[in-house]
């Protein structure tokens, strides 16, 4: 899901930006968004696991 969003953002920017350099910069931007979303998803998953462990005890 996160990967699809990053690809979608990347495709939109690349369509609007004709210059190759501009497209490359937008790819980096989309990649940063992807990494941020991935970090948040992993952090939330770890938090949920910790909460479940606390509930079990």
Structure tokens at 27: 């790819």
Provide the whole-model pTM.
0.49
How confident is the model over 2-33, as pLDDT tens digits? Answer: 667 778 777 776 666 655 566 677 788 888 98
**Residue 9 neighbours by CB under 8 Å, 6+ apart:** 29, 30, 33
Better pLDDT: 12 or 35: 35
pLDDT at 2: 66
pLDDT over threshold 90, residue 42: yes
**Residue 2 neighbours by CB under 8 Å, 6+ apart:** 34, 37, 38, 41
pLDDT at 6: 74
């Amino acid at each position: 899901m996160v990967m699809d969003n990053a690809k979608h953002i990347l495709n939109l920017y690349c369509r609007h930006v004709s210059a190759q350099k501009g497209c490359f910069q937008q790819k980096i931007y989309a990649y940063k968004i992807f990494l941020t979303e991935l970090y948040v998803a992993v952090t939330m998953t770890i938090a949920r696991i910790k909460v479940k462990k606390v509930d079990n005890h």
